[in-house]
Each structure stands twice: as structure tokens, then as C-alpha cells.
Amino acid sequence: MLYLEILGNLPEMARDEVKAMLELAGGEITDQDYLFLKLDADEKTFPYLNRLGLSHEYGELILEAESIEELLQKAEEVDWPIKGTFKVDTETMANCRHDVLDLPRKLGAVIHAQGFKVNLSKPDTFVRVYCGERLYAGIRLRFFDPKDFEGRKAHHRPFFRPISLHPRVSRALVNLTKAKRELLDPMMGAGGILMEAGLLGLRVYGVDIRPEMVEGAEMNLRHYGVRDYELRLGDATKLEELFPEKRFEAVATDPPYGTSATLAGRKRDELYRKVLESIYGVLEEGGRLAIAFPASFDGEAEAEKVGFKMVGKYYQRVHKSLERYFYVFEK
């Protein structure tokens, strides 16, 4: 069994991102306690779990308990798979119903009694205790360092546009498509979604109607080491003309939301409808689309008119004048 901690800003989307990766790898979520997920999965899922964007960490789940006394008793009976030195950290979730203030010291003493050495400053192994409705203890295997994503935020890129999804969200959209080989972004802008897909080893295809975006996106992709790409100047409403022989397994995109400049002078809702039709035309049967729309546009109804089936919908309030939904559709 594994445990996984998702981030709290888009929890339903984060959970479904994990679910999508486990469906590719052959595992499943068996239980959830606030932001803590129990996974029926093994090491063959690691390459897929390592792709995650909206997660904090994952590890091996060693034990769970209804009380601190039960946890400490079970801890004495476990052969802890600790390499080198260790440290016990407690994660107190918003629904924690146990007094865990002194738990790191008590559990640390139990593990220390098995012959393992404590190192509070630079441990080789992190023993993680989660407090929610129940108590859980595990060994951290992978921590998703926020710095890795922060370094790819819009203002750090060589080609900079302020309106851009956070790299974690871009990564999640890619994963929600369940892409294994390739991904198309037909309204790529500065290329943020393509960067995340390319860093996962996918071949990426990008389209934008503005020449400066095509040049800028290529600059960004090359800056972050993405080499397997194909970018085209073109109209997202005419994808079958741009790719007459090609059908894609996955599409992810974040369309422009508002100004006549970003919409190339076209009415927004009409543009979105035509883009949905165009994407449907180049998507493989069973392929997935992950897309964002402002809350004022009924993405679900419009996509279903085209022939899509909705498999996910996630609300986000960005600021006072922008509320949006992220959708996942299947053809």
C-alpha cells in the first residue's frame, strides 16, 4: 500500500489527476481522509505518480490506527524499512481529531529502540505521520518540491506573458488527458502546457494564430530542454486543415478569456464553440480533452452538443473578475 498527499487548492482535480495516472499504471485509490489518499499500488506505478502536478508527496504506508496508543503499539511490532538516519514529521490536517503534539518524540523513541539513529537536520529517511479522522504513518518516497514548478512560472520564462496557468495546473491538465505518447495544445500562447507535457517525455504539438506566440513558445520550450515538438502558425478552429492526416490521443488547452486582441477580433462564445468542434475533429476515438472556460460559458452543454462526454469538472475562483471551470471531456 502507498499513501499520497494531494494539495488543497483544487482537491477534486488533484484526486482525479491521481486517479488518471493510476488507471494508466494499474492501481487504484482505496480510501481518502481529507487530503490523504490510500493507494492500492506498487513500485510499477512510480513513473506515473512522478508525473503529478497537484500533489505534495507520496510514500509507503506502514500502518494506520484509531488512536495514538494503537499507533505506538503497532509501531513497536513493525520492521521499519528505514535506510540510514531518520526523522519523524507530523502532518496535522484540517480534520485532525487527535492530540499529536508530542507524537514525533514518542514515535521517534519507538523507532530508535529498533536501532535506528535520529537526525533532525538532514535525515536520510522521513517518517511521515498524518493526522485526520485516523492516524497514518509511512515512509516518504517522493516529495514534489514547489521550487521545481516555481522556476517555470510565467515571469521566469525567456518569453513572458503575465496571463498564464500555474505550472502545477498545466501539468495536471496534461495528466487528466491520460496522454502516453503525445499532446496537442491548439491555443498554446507562450507554451506553458506544452512545456509540462514535454518535460514528461511526450511529443508536443502546438498551434497559435499569433506569430509572436509561435516564436515565443519555441523559445520557452528550448529554454526548458524540450526538443520533441512541432509548432504551427494557424487557427484553432481549423485544425483538420492544419493536420489533415493526424489524429491525436490527447488535447489540453487554456483558451484566451477576453480581449478582442487575444480572441483575434472574434466573439468569445462563438470562438469557443468552433474550437470544440475543431478539436473533436482531430481527436482519436476515446481520446481526451482537458480545457478551461470562464464560468459564464457553459462548457459542459456546448461540448456535449459537439459529441463529447464530460468526465470531470473543477471550479476555480482566480480573482474577483475571473471564475472558471476546468473540464475533462472524452470523445
Judgement on whether residues 197 and 85 belong to the same structural domain of the protein: no
DSSP code for 117? P
**Radius of gyration over every alpha carbon of the chain, rounded to an integer in angstroms:** 22
User: The domain containing residue 199 runs over which residues?
Assistant: 148-330
Asked if residue 32 has pLDDT above 70, the reply is: yes
Domain total of the chain: 2
Judgement on whether residues 103 and 225 belong to the same structural domain of the protein: no
Query: Would the pTM of this model clear 0.85, i.e. be above it?
Result: yes
What is the rounded average pLDDT for all residues in the chain?
A: 96
> Which stretch of DSSP H or E encloses residue 300?
helix 299-306
Cβ-based neighbour number of residue 261 at 10 Å: 9
**Predicted pLDDT at 161:** 84
- At 222-233, the pLDDT tens digits run 999 999 999 999
Residue 8, all three cell numbers:
488543497
Judgement on whether residues 192 and 53 belong to the same structural domain of the protein: no
Judgement on whether residues 48 and 135 belong to the same structural domain of the protein: yes
Read off the amino acid at residue 105: R
Judgement on whether residues 6 and 132 belong to the same structural domain of the protein: yes
* 117, 80 contact by CB (below 8 A): no
Judgement on whether residues 254 and 302 belong to the same structural domain of the protein: yes
Pairing label, strands 135-143, 182-185: unpaired
Judgement on whether residues 159 and 83 belong to the same structural domain of the protein: no
Task: For residues 211 and 81, give the distance between their C-alpha atoms in angstroms, rounded to a whole number.
Answer: 55
Task: For residues 61 and 42, give the distance between their C-alpha atoms in angstroms, rounded to a whole number.
Answer: 11
Cβ-based neighbour number of residue 98 at 10 Å: 19
Judgement on whether residues 10 and 131 belong to the same structural domain of the protein: yes
Give the domain CATH number at 52.
Answer: 3.30.2130.30
Judgement on whether residues 247 and 106 belong to the same structural domain of the protein: no
* Mean of pLDDT values over 203-216: 97
- At 38-84, the pLDDT tens digits run 999 999 999 999 999 999 999 999 999 999 999 999 999 999 999 99
Task: For residues 231 and 234, give the distance between their C-alpha atoms in angstroms, rounded to a whole number.
Answer: 9
Cα–Cα distances in angstroms (integers) from residue 97 to residues 9, 66, 92, 135, 292, in the given order: 22, 10, 9, 9, 37
Judgement on whether residues 125 and 160 belong to the same structural domain of the protein: no
Cβ-based neighbour number of residue 224 at 10 Å: 18
Backbone angles phi, psi at 112, to 5 degrees: -60, -35
Asked if residue 135 has pLDDT above 60, the reply is: yes
Judgement on whether residues 162 and 299 belong to the same structural domain of the protein: yes
Judgement on whether residues 260 and 298 belong to the same structural domain of the protein: yes
Q: What is the 3-state secondary structure (H, E, C) of 54-66?
A: CEEEEEEEEEEEC
Q: Of 117, 144, 171, at which residue does a domain stop?
A: 144
Give the domain CATH number at 302.
Answer: 3.40.50.150
- At 118-134, the pLDDT tens digits run 999 999 999 999 999 99
* Mean of pLDDT values over 292-299: 95
